[in-house]
Every structure is written in C-alpha cells, then in structure tokens.
C-alpha cells in the first residue's frame, strides 16, 4: 500500500470568537501538541486565524488553514480574502469547494478550479472537497458526480502541483447529521476518486494523493474509517469543536 501520511483537519465552520478559538486551540495543543503520528490542520474562521496561529506556534505538527479563499490577488471584491492575505495570516492550507459553499454560495467546479489554481500559485495547499447529496446517491449518481467534481475541480493542475493537493470526500447527507457513511460506502467512493486521479494524472500521483473522509466523523468511528485502504484522514466539523474529543480523533486517525 502506498505510504501516505494521514491528515486530520478540523473545520470549525462559523463558530468561535477570537478568544474562544484561542482557548480551544490551546486546549488542543495540550492534548496533541507533541503528537507526530499524522498531519493536523485547524481551520478556524478568518477572524480567529491570528488567535489560533499564536496558540499553535510551538506545535510543529499543527498547521493553520482557512475555510475559503478568493481567486483574485487583490482588488474590488468586497468581503473576500486573497491567498496572499491567508499566507500572511499564517495559513498553510485552505478548504476549497466545501459542500456548504456549493450549496449556499453557488460554488461550482470551475470556481473551485480557479481557487485551487490560485491557492497553489500562491503557496497554499488546497483541501478540495467533493461529495454527493442524498438525492444523487439514491438515484445511483454518486460515482458520475464525484468523478466530474474531481475532473472539473482539478482540471489543468500539474503532477507537481498535485503533490500539494488534499482531496476530501464529504457526502452531503453525512455532514452534521450524525449519519456517517459506512466504512465500505466511504471506501467505495474513495476508490473511484483515486481511479479518477489515475486517469487524470497517472498512477504515481493517484497513489500519493491524500483523500480525507468527512461527515459525522467522531472518535468512535475514526479508526475504522481511516483504516480503509483509500482513506487517508478526516475532515471533521462538529467534533473538532471540543479539544479532547478532537484529540482522540487525531490519535485514532493516525495510521502508520
Ligand atoms: P460534521 O463533522 O459536523 O459532520 O461536518 C463535516 C464537515 O463538513 C467538515 O468539513
């Protein structure tokens, strides 16, 4: 099996003030600040990036990530944040194309693609999210949709750039619902994603790209999900808002 290092990311979504974020990050660092079994990313809201940066400064294995970015470098884009601004704030990663962005802010694969290219050009590692709604799954359309999201979102990237890309498979019906995909369901889709990566970029890139699972991940289901051959970590929402529980997920999700 390919030797992919697990990556566990916490997506705090629209939660935590600066002070709350600092307290959560500090408590988390106490738990796993010295843990080296996997890569860890914390993705607080923009307004708490600075607080979390300070809290994780001494923890080599914990990186900072943002939840969204604009593809232009600067200019008249009210309310938007650029790659350069995120780099300046200490980010190494950025989540792109989360299903909530797709659902509430009409993000499509071509926009995801522009953002991924901008992130990579500016030295940020994109975590590119894909996943189907329940309607699509029930209609048997998961494979087609997810392959299209991968092909569209990652179009035109080079093999070299792909070394900095993380993919996250997040079935929309499993997000915030407590209804996790079974390890077999998740593995099946991760297999399709890796196969699509192989078609697009060849076997070496496909074998090296890390694919996270997200959707109602908690400490009790992490090990089994992350034990699947094509699952290389987790993108965690609700359960990343509590330090001890998220630390348990990190420890459970690290695979050697
Ligand atoms: P939950 O873990 O709350 O289901 O959210 C998953 C998610 O959307 C992470 O990006």
Residue 245, domain CATH: 3.20.20.70
pLDDT tens per residue across span 222-231: 999 999 999 9
CB 95 within 8 A of CB 125: no
- The verdict on residue 230 lying in a domain is yes
| Most informative mutation of 94, 214, 233 for ligand 1 (most atoms within 8 A of CB) | 214
For residue 21, being part of any structural domain is answered with yes
Question: Would the pTM count as exceeding 0.85?
Answer: yes
Distance CA 95, CA 237 (A): 12
Centre of ligand 1 to C-alpha 231, Å, is 16
Q: Is residue 226 part of a domain?
A: yes
Which residues are designated catalytic? 98, 170
Res 2: pLDDT: 67
Structural domain contains residue 1: no
Mean pLDDT of the chain: 97
Q: Which of 15, 166, 176, 253 to mutate to test the pocket of ligand 1 (most atoms within 8 A of CB)?
A: 176
Of all protein residues, the one whose alpha carbon is nearest to atom 7 of ligand 1 is: 237
Residue 217, in any domain of the structure: yes
Counted domains in the chain: 1
Residue 2 lies in a domain: no
Cα–Cα distance between 97 and 75 in angstroms, integer? Answer: 22
Does any domain span residue 196?
Answer: yes
- Is position 42 within any domain? yes
pLDDT at 256: 44
Structural domain boundaries, residue 48: 7-253
Q: Is 131 in the pocket of ligand 1 (CB under 6 A)?
A: no
């Amino acid at each position: 099996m390919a030797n992919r290092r697990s990556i566990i990311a916490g997506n705090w979504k629209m939660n935590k003030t600066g002070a709350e974020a600092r307290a959560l990050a500090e408590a988390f660092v106490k738990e796993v600040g010295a843990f080296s079994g996997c890569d860890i990313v914390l993705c607080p809201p923009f307004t708490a990036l600075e607080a979390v940066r300070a809290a994780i400064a001494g923890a080599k294995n914990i990186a900072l990530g943002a939840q969204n970015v604009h593809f232009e470098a600067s200019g008249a884009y009210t309310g938007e944040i650029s790659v350069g601004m995120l780099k300046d704030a200490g980010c190494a990663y950025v989540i792109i194309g989360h299903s909530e962005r797709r659902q509430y802010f009409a993000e499509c694969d071509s926009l995801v693609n522009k953002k991924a290219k901008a992130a990579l050009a500016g030295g940020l590692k994109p975590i590119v999210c894909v996943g189907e709604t329940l309607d699509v799954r029930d209609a048997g359309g998961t494979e087609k949709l997810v392959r299209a999201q991968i092909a569209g979102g990652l179009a035109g990237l080079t093999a070299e750039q792909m070394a900095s890309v993380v993919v996250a498979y997040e079935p929309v019906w499993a997000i915030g619902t407590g209804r996790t995909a079974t390890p077999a369901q998740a593995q099946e889709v991760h297999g399709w994603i890796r196969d699509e990566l192989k078609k697009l970029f060849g076997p070496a890139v496909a074998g090296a790209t890390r694919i996270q699972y997200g959707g109602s991940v908690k400490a009790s289901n992490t090990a089994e999900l992350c034990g699947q051959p094509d699952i290389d970590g987790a993108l965690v929402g609700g359960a990343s808002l509590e330090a001890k529980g998220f630390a348990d997920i990190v420890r459970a999700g690290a695979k050697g």
